[in-house]
A and B are shown apart, each in its own frame.
Chain A
Amino acid sequence: MCGIVGLFLKDPKLEGELGAMLASMLCVMTDRGPDSAGFAVYGSGAKDKVKLSLRATASYDFEALAAGLSLPAAGLPGLAVRGTHAIVEIPAAREAAVRAFLKERHPEVAIVGTGERMEIFKEVGLPASVAQTFGLPGMRGTHGIGHTRMATESAVTTAGAHPFSTGADQCLVHNGSLSNHNALRRALKREGIAIETDNDSEVAAGYLTWRMKQGASLGQALEAGLNDLDGFFTFVVGTENGFGVLRDPIACKPAVMAETDQYVAFGSEYRALVDLPGIARARVFEPEPATVYFWERAQ
């Protein structure tokens, strides 16, 4: 099954409420995915900085890790620890060096995602407990996406939870199951795309990353996915400026959208949207199959 939610704010006055609204939507989708949950929130950021979303084990000493990343000139990197995850903010110019350092010296730490504004958190457990552990209700931001997982294609692990990063400030959540993910995983690995789990959705994320490395836009990569991904999918992709939606041509997996002057919201079911402000007057509709949609703010 799995549940997806997404919220893109048009009205800046709601930005302080983004996390609370997303958490409420996520928890309603518990019936569709009680195994694990995750979310990406697009909050504040600085042009010359990059945020690394890191994941380790419970009570991991992220402070010591951050101290090891400090430079005499730049001082300690920004650090926000939330449960098993931490957001480390470093100068953008140092990203490659820090990635190499983490890979060599801290193989126990996974980089879940990177970007100027995107922060990703995911964990096994009920959505309510995942949202609470990471403090989602208190987060502010312009938009966010979330996922509740009912595992089908791979084990219930944190690494198998969504969202999956597809590039800087980009991530993907998936409802459905891909039937050609093993062949595609082998092909992507040959192309140099790192895929860590047996999860089909991670392959979809890796596929989009590969297409974009070849020069495709995210929209073009999604379009190409209609030909290359075999199986059922409703994808929601988070981007720096908003989110995109794509359903397979058969539209096996549900999707409902609601739009008002204040926001665009996505839910696997309308139930996820009922607590949003002004929902009774929203334009509620179903996205068409095999059609790429984007809702983005003007740059």
Chain B
Amino acid sequence: MNAISPDLTFDLAATSLRELNAALHAATGESNARRWRVLNPNGRHAVAVGINAPLTVEIEGHVGYYCAGMNAEASVIIHGNAGVGLAENMMSGFVHVRGDASQAAGATGHGGLLVIDGNASARCGISMKGIDIVVKGSVGHMSAFMGQSGSLIVLGDAGEALGDSLYEAKLFVRGSVKSLGADCIEKELRDEHKALLAEKLKAAGLEGTVDVSAFKRYGSARQLYNFHVDNASAY
């Protein structure tokens, strides 16, 4: 199925999830086993959460909630769909889902790259804080809600209220946007943005396959209450 020959294989039909996650947490940059393979995830929640080492983990099947949450340094590849909260609060590293992702993919992520081959449903990148998210399909409603930093790049369409109450996250959508959220506006796609898009798409393995000038850029109009300095003393 895959070209990798794993150093370690965990079959979750035979081994407990707790055992897998404990082994992943015990791994460090000095560990010999770098390629991990997980079989029969069967929609279990919290598979491969909290890794803090430069490992590659390939998961063969669909996962439940919070897969690869809090990930740091590791590459986690899911050969299936992912449930709610994929790569939630990711710090760094790379998470790639070959199928669809459910709601709140990449939520609150601080860094790293999340690539979704299929669609992501509602609230993709909600409260993102520096993560880069590339969705090859479409995203659902309220995506990038209160996004503070990082980029959300959507090759398909976006649902209702994209970028509602946005801070400084950069949003790029190639297809249609059903509606923009409060204080989110379309902005000019300048050369530096095209360069940024090209860089992120290259990291996602899409170099040369996507025309960066086909995207529209969206960002904060910075008109909401919290952007007015006169209100700063209220906090």
State the A residues within 8 Å of B (CB): 250-251, 254, 256, 269-274, 280, 284-286, 289
Contact = CB atoms under 8 A, between A and B. Distances in A.
Given A254-B102, A289-B122, 6 more contacts: A251-B122, A269-B65, A270-B43, A270-B64, A272-B43, A284-B81
List the 9 closest A-B pairs by CB distance, nearest first: A270-B43, A271-B43, A274-B42, A270-B62, A286-B121, A251-B122, A284-B81, A274-B43, A271-B64
Contacts of A286: 100, 102, 121
Contacts of A269: 43, 64-65, 83
B140 interface: yes
Which interface class (under 10, 10 to 19, 20 to 34, 35 or more) fits B?
10 to 19
A139 B186 CA distance: 57
Nearest to A272: B43
B61 interface: yes
Given A254-B102, A271-B44, A289-B141, A284 B122 contact: no
B114 interface: no
Interface in B159-215: none
Nearest to A280: B61
B103 interface: yes
A273 B121 contact: no
5 contacts: A251-B141, A254-B102, A270-B43, A284-B81, A289-B140
Chain B, interface SS category:
loop
Interface centre among A256, A270, A271, A285 (most CB of B within 10 A): A270
A280 B1 CA distance: 14
Given A251-B121, A254-B102, A286-B102, A273 B43 contact: yes
Contacts of B121: 251, 286
Contact of B84 (A250, A254, A274, A285): A254
Contacts of B43: 269-274
A286 B100 CA distance: 9
B156 interface: no
Contacts of A254: 83-84, 102-103
Nearest to B101: A286
Nearest to B80: A284
A63 B81 CA distance: 51
